Amino acid sequence: PAHQPLKGKRVLVTAGPTWESIDPVRYVANRSSGKQGFAIAAAAAALGAEVTLVAGPVALKTPAGCKRIDVESAEEMASAVKRALPADAAVMVAAVADWRPKEYRDEKIKKRGSAPPALMLTENPDILTNLAASDNRPALVVGFAAETEDVIDNAKKKRKRKACDWIVANDVSGDVMGGDANRIHIVSAEGVESLDEMPKTEVALALADRIATALQGQAKK
Ligand code: C5P
């Protein structure tokens, strides 16, 4: 396409869930199709960006023009993100599992026996928070917030807590999960921009366009 406002820019995107293994056959995870993240990677590439897409386990084709790094766990995703730096913008869309089993069992846990096993969990690294605080911080750090209530208020708090530039809030109380449409609110220091519900591919293009504008603004300063 002729319109390439992200040409020469490096954009890092995380997408999909993470799987946290319990034993060789079992895991805990968050619910995520990866569709919105993959659409954002595709949109950024279409606008000319050099895109690295760090993907959790999803059944989606690699978008044209993106370098894809497949990972499984949050810890793997965290190190892949570090290795992918530097970047001009990072869009963290992955639904990273907040916790992982405290211990991984090399052998399949047997069903035989008495009570079901108790699962002890431990906290995963917060990839977005660590990226926003790192020496290698991209000029624009965008996080996502899937909420079912007080969507905008929670997003504002999350933006501050995670020290990112924008939080893209989406209301997942409906059938956003796994669906093809999304309704987002972009929360930044300037305020809140609410977009109409539209296909995830169009949400991605709208966001990529705003990222291009923001990076151009920074370059002029
Ligand atoms: O705190 P919460 O999980 O709602 O934050 C969502 C945002 O933080 C998303 O951008 C998600 O990709 C990112 N995140 C992360 N690492 C985690 C948890 C969330 O990068 N361990």
**pLDDT at 176 (0 to 100):** 65
**pLDDT tens column, 116-148:** 889 999 999 999 999 999 999 999 999 999 888
> Which residue CA neighbors atom 4 of ligand 1 most closely?
145
The one-letter amino acid at 74 = A
Block means of pLDDT (10 residues each) for the chain, 221 residues, are: 89 98 96 94 98 98 98 98 98 97 94 86 98 97 92 95 96 74 93 94 96 85 44
Task: Out of 127, 152, 168, 187, give the residue to mutate to test ligand 1, the one with the largest number of ligand atoms within 8 Å of its CB.
Answer: 127
**pLDDT at 221 (0 to 100):** 44
Domains with residue ranges and CATH for the chain = 10-102+121-220 (3.40.50.10300)
The one-letter amino acid at 175 = D
* Max CA pair span of the chain: 67
Task: Out of 32, 100, 128, give the residue to mutate to test ligand 1, the one with the largest number of ligand atoms within 8 Å of its CB.
Answer: 128
116 cis-preceded (ω within 30 degrees of 0)? no
Residue 98 CA: distances (Å) to CA of 20, 126, 136, 142, 182? 10, 8, 23, 18, 23
**pLDDT at 219 (0 to 100):** 63
**pLDDT at 180 (0 to 100):** 84
Q: Which residues are catalytic?
A: 30
Which ligand 1 atom lies nearest to the CA of residue 142?
A: 10
Which ligand 1 atom lies nearest to the CA of residue 124?
A: 21
Tokens (6 digits) for 195 = 């977009």
Measured in angstroms, how far is the CA atom of residue 129 from the centroid of ligand 1?
Answer: 8
Q: How far apart are CA 91 and CA 36, in angstroms?
A: 11
> Which residue CA neighbors atom 21 of ligand 1 most closely?
126
Q: How would you write the chain as a 3-class SS string?
A: CCCCCCCCCEEEEEECECEEEEECCEEEECCCCCHHHHHHHHHHHHCCCEEEEEECCCCCCCCCCEEEEECCCHHHHHHHHHHHCCCCEEEECCECCCEEECCCCCCCCCCCCCCCCCCCEEECCCHHHHHHCCCCCCCEEEEEEEECCCHHHHHHHHHHHHCCCEEEEEECCCCCCCCCEECEEEEECCEEEECCCEEHHHHHHHHHHHHHHHHHHHHHC
φ/ψ (deg, to 5) at 213: -60, -45
Note the residue count of the chain: 221
* pTM summary value: 0.94
Q: How far apart are CA 211 and CA 47, in angstroms?
A: 10
